[in-house]
Chain A
Amino acid sequence: MGFDIQTLPWRRPLVPDWNRRYDALWAQLANADQVSQTDAATLSVEACVLANQRLGPLEQIKINKLAARLWKVAASGTLRRVRIAIFGNATLSLFAAHLKGSALARGMLLDTVESDFGTVTAFAMGAAQSTIEGPLDAALLSLDATAFARAERLLDIVKDAEVREAAAERLRALAVGVRTRLGVPVIVATVPAQPEDAISSIEHALLGSPARLVAAVNDEVRRGAEAGDWLMWDAAALAGEIGLHSWFDPVGRHHAKTPFASELCPIAADHLCRVLAAMTGKSGRALVLDLDNTIWGGVVGDDGVDGIQLGNGSAVGEAFLAVQRLALELRRRGVVLAVCSKNNEDVARRPFQEHPDMLLRLKDIAVFQANWVDKATNLKAIADALKLGIDALVFVDDNPVERERVRQQWPLAIVPELGEEPAYFPRLIVASGAFEHLPLAAEDVLRAGDYQATVSRQVQRDAAKDYDTYLGSLQMRMTITPFDRIGRARITQLINKSNQFNLTTRRYNEHDVARLEGDPAFLAWQVRLSDTFADNGMIAVVIVHKEAAVRWRIDTWLMSCRVLERGVEQTIMKELVDLARSQGCEELWGEFLKTERNALVTDFYDRMTFKPVEPAASNGDKRYVLKVSEFALLKSFIEVSQSA
């Protein structure tokens, strides 16, 4: 996997029915003045969802138009309306059009007013009348090097200082002038250095060079931002990230006076919208972290504290350390940290307490939600505990299914894509701009600690209202196959590795597994699951001993925790019962053998409508029976195919 920031890789891929949904939305907005306030709220959210995807060039154009139309709908629902004036000495209209679409992706509705080309100075100095009508929230001042260029003799120390001072003064005068005349905060863009100015390696040490002039301007932008005179958009930093040769397009420059390559409008506009989002309080305030395979490698419930990959000694472990390092850096800036993990709470907490390489400790985590409840529900609990809106949460989870689940339930939560490679997780989180911020104040730096004290942990057990709809949308397909040679290695691995969703924790070696292939006294199933996102591969193993024709005993039932809460066990049980019934079996017996790690399935057979045959043994073991004829059908959203 590579990393190309131009594709906005932190955004979700385009949904397959994007164009259909777009057309539907566009039609509903056809008559702006007839949209009711309630409709506007719903339509706004849909617009955000469509905008916040990895758009192709044509989709981007459509979203820009949609945003412009949405602005005209007076009641904008949940979207924050922002209106900015744009001052520049190049053609910024195209950029402005993209700003509207990019703002939409970040939960804002943006309108822009551009100053006439070349009138910046006159306006700022009070010589020209303002042509800007209506309220404003901010102004952007985006100038390129030609606004400051003044060629003087090289190597003249006095001239060099004069020219640089004059450039800085000019920048300051323009920024302060705009601010004074409009009475709104000014965002000043830094100036990227032209590749054509890089004649030698010593440009910055060459008195009177163009590079020194640009540097002087940028220094002044930084100074003013630090002093609180204006806000700063670091266009130069973005140009550096992209590469100056891509950023500057001399053809477009000569042809249309565009300040940078026009195909970069989406990333450039998004980058500025980060600053607008921070200005209007739309940035992420809390980082909600999944645990397994997100901040450490492996599954702590299965691998144990000693078995997870973290830290020195392993390349993968180093990558996860980098994720934790980023979390701590964000915390330093006032971002609150929370955990949202499908785990037993004590198991999930253990690495924080015991693993020597963990950088994150329990004291760093304001809310710790480790349970088996749906993550969308847990996210709401975290938001409530922190007294934050759900759109202030940034949910970081390596599992695309969990991300999609959260997006469906909370379309305005910030959920960056993470890709397949943990080494890129920190880069994607940062590039997403979710944590863009303005100059920090002392209270920001203290914030993370404050939350710690006030948060009361709460768990919401009520299942999300439309969880069934979600499960349906996953289009899950299950394949049940008897044990065979191909599956043997993976079956053995699951039998010996699964600890949490494992009713009996009986371990069998590859030889044992091979003997079960084709043994008529046993029913031995390997179960695979795929959905719209991925082929999850083998996710469950069930071994049933046909002790007698009318009585079967479930010897082993285990599942991967990746597919919990999706109705997998209900579906397998239905298939098992159907088969038992057709073969004349009357009773299914099951047992729960308690271990340190399988608390998750304590009530498994109760949920499967089995009846306990005796009170639990003193060691916690429980035995159950199901009269096959009394089996009540369990709800399932999975299409099953059985192969002999």
Chain B
Amino acid sequence: MKLMDQSAILARLTEIVRTLFDEYDGPVDASLNAKAVKQWDSLANVQFMVLVEQAFKVRFTVSEITGLKNVGELMQVIQKKLGH
């Protein structure tokens, strides 16, 4: 899972967003956050984070999970964890 660039990470996150939030048809980019997506409630967020962990084979800490503001920040955390 090393050597993933930003666009590859975003592509994978997009797949997860599209699967989990299948009623959302707006853009998926760094600025996307839960408020913009009707299906993205606190429960869905748990599921979302688990899927991200599985997709990138990483683990998030409690503070990471609670501190994230949008997809862009999530991408940064993932990149950091993948050792970039």
A: residues with CB less than 8 A from B are 57-58, 61-62, 65, 91, 93-94, 97, 251-252, 254-256, 258, 262-263
A-B contacts besides A252-B50, A263-B53, 16 pairs, CB < 8 Å? A57-B50, A57-B54, A57-B55, A58-B16, A58-B19, A61-B20, A62-B19, A94-B47, A251-B59, A251-B62, A252-B46, A255-B62, A255-B65, A256-B43, A256-B45, A256-B46
Interface size of B in residues (CB-CB distance below 8 Å): 21
- Per-position binary interface string of chain B over residues 34-49, scored 1 when its CB falls under 8 Å from any chain A CB and 0 otherwise: 0000000011011100
Indicate if the CB atoms of A255 and B51 lie closer than 8 Å: no
- Per-position binary interface string of chain B over residues 51-75, scored 1 when its CB falls under 8 Å from any chain A CB and 0 otherwise: 1011100011110011000000000
Known: A251-B62, A263-B50, A263-B53. A94 touches B16 (CB 8 A): no
Nearest neighbor of A97 in chain B, beta-carbon distance:
B47
Indicate if the CB atoms of B54 and A263 lie closer than 8 Å: yes
Known: A57-B55, A263-B53. A256 touches B42 (CB 8 A): yes
The answer for the CA separation of A252 and B45 in the assembled complex, in Å, is: 11
| Chain A positions within 8 Å of B66 at CB level | 255
The answer for the CA separation of A245 and B49 in the assembled complex, in Å, is: 19
Known: A251-B62, A255-B66. A58 touches B51 (CB 8 A): yes
Nearest neighbor of B20 in chain A, beta-carbon distance:
A61
Known: A91-B43, A251-B60, A262-B46. A61 touches B65 (CB 8 A): no
Q: Does B15 contact A (CB under 8 A)?
A: yes
Tell me the smallest distance from the CB of A56 to a CB of chain B, in Å. Answer: 8
| Chain B positions within 8 Å of A62 at CB level | 19
Nearest neighbor of B22 in chain A, beta-carbon distance:
A65
Of the A-B pairs whose beta carbons lie under 8 Å apart in the complex, a sample of 10, sorted by A's number, is: A57-B54, A57-B55, A58-B19, A61-B51, A94-B46, A251-B62, A255-B62, A256-B45, A258-B46, A263-B53
Tell me which of B22, B46, B55 has the highest count of chain A C-beta atoms within 10 A of its own C-beta.
B46
Nearest neighbor of A261 in chain B, beta-carbon distance:
B50
Contact of A61 among B19, B43, B46, B59 (CB under 8 A): B19
The answer for the CA separation of A91 and B53 in the assembled complex, in Å, is: 19
| Chain A positions within 8 Å of B43 at CB level | 91, 93-94, 256
Indicate if the CB atoms of B50 and A262 lie closer than 8 Å: yes
| Chain B positions within 8 Å of A263 at CB level | 50, 53-54
The answer for the CA separation of A93 and B46 in the assembled complex, in Å, is: 10
| Chain B positions within 8 Å of A255 at CB level | 46, 62, 65-66
Tell me the smallest distance from the CB of A495 to a CB of chain B, in Å. Answer: 51
Contact of A251 among B20, B22, B65 (CB under 8 A): B65
| Chain A positions within 8 Å of B53 at CB level | 263
Nearest neighbor of A26 in chain B, beta-carbon distance:
B22
The answer for the CA separation of A254 and B64 in the assembled complex, in Å, is: 13
The answer for the CA separation of A251 and B64 in the assembled complex, in Å, is: 10
| Chain B positions within 8 Å of A252 at CB level | 46, 50
Indicate if the CB atoms of B47 and A58 lie closer than 8 Å: no
Interface residues of B in 1-51 (CB under 8 A from A): 15-16, 19-20, 22, 42-43, 45-47, 50-51
Nearest neighbor of A98 in chain B, beta-carbon distance:
B47
Tell me the smallest distance from the CB of A2 to a CB of chain B, in Å. Answer: 18
The answer for the CA separation of A94 and B62 in the assembled complex, in Å, is: 18
The answer for the CA separation of A254 and B66 in the assembled complex, in Å, is: 11
The answer for the CA separation of A62 and B65 in the assembled complex, in Å, is: 24
Tell me the smallest distance from the CB of A578 to a CB of chain B, in Å. Answer: 50
Known: A58-B15, A93-B43. A254 touches B62 (CB 8 A): yes
The answer for the CA separation of A258 and B19 in the assembled complex, in Å, is: 22
Nearest neighbor of A262 in chain B, beta-carbon distance:
B50
Tell me the smallest distance from the CB of A387 to a CB of chain B, in Å. Answer: 43
Nearest neighbor of B43 in chain A, beta-carbon distance:
A93
| Chain B positions within 8 Å of A97 at CB level | 47
